[in-house]
Amino acid sequence: MLNYIKLIFCLAVVFITSGCASVTMLEGNAPKKLSNCEVKVWMSKEKAQEAGKINEMCLITGTSSGSFSHTVATAVEKSKALACDCGATNVYIQAQDAGTLGTASVSLVGFEFTKK
């Protein structure tokens, strides 16, 4: 019985402290992982497009799960590096939810500026 309780406790700790995030490539884009890339965050698609024409590469979803701060900013900070996995160095915030149960979530779109 004691081992069973320890197992449940360990599983609960792993579940609570691990964050969930995923990357989905958009049609026509092959993943090209970048190492040591820095990702710039844009507040919206419109703000990004003000700086030039963009090529959307992937959709990133993430949460603030596994951190002590459950804000949208934390969810963005934890998720933005996944843009490097699809070859993007920019993301814009497509959707955000501050979370009614305490965990914030975001949808980010990884993109690159097209060459002029």
pLDDT, tens digit, 9 for 90 and up, residues 19-42: 567 777 777 766 677 777 899 999
Q: For residue 10, what pLDDT band results from cuts at 50, 70 and 90?
A: very low
| pLDDT per residue as tens digits for the range 43-76 | 999 999 999 999 999 999 887 777 676 778 878 8
- Which of 51, 46, 50 has the alpha carbon at shortest distance from 92? 46
Q: In what order do the strands lie in the sheet with 90-97?
A: 21-25, 54-63, 105-113, 90-97, 40-42
Distance, C-alpha 109 to centroid of its chain: 9
Domain edges within the chain: 19-113
For the chain, give the number of residues.
116
Identify the CATH number of the domain defined by range 19-113: 3.30.110.70
Give the whole-angstrom CA distance, residue 31 versus residue 89. 13
- Find the Cα–Cα–Cα–Cα dihedral 15, 21, 24, 25, rounded to 10°: -140
pLDDT grade for 18, boundaries at 50, 70 and 90 = very low
